[in-house]
Amino acid sequence: VKAPTHTLRGHAAPVFYGMLLSKDGTRAVSADQGDTVIVWNLETGRPAHTLRLFGGAGNVRGAIDLSPDGTRV
């Protein structure tokens, strides 16, 4: 197991609903208490995609997951 090399910064609200890793280990997905889901590039430590849900804060509810092939959140 490699030691962490990046601190993932990008959420304005606490990451409360979880974080998951892609099967190939190149991406992570995190969801915060507000309205943001971020797909992270783990090689660079930077967001690859930022998803903001409509309707304001508090829209991310429950767990997050990736499709079996890793192409959809």
Average pLDDT, the chain: 80
Q: What is the pTM of this model?
A: 0.77
- pLDDT 10s digits, 50-67: 988 766 555 555 667 788
E strand spans, the chain? 19-21, 27-31, 36-41, 46-52
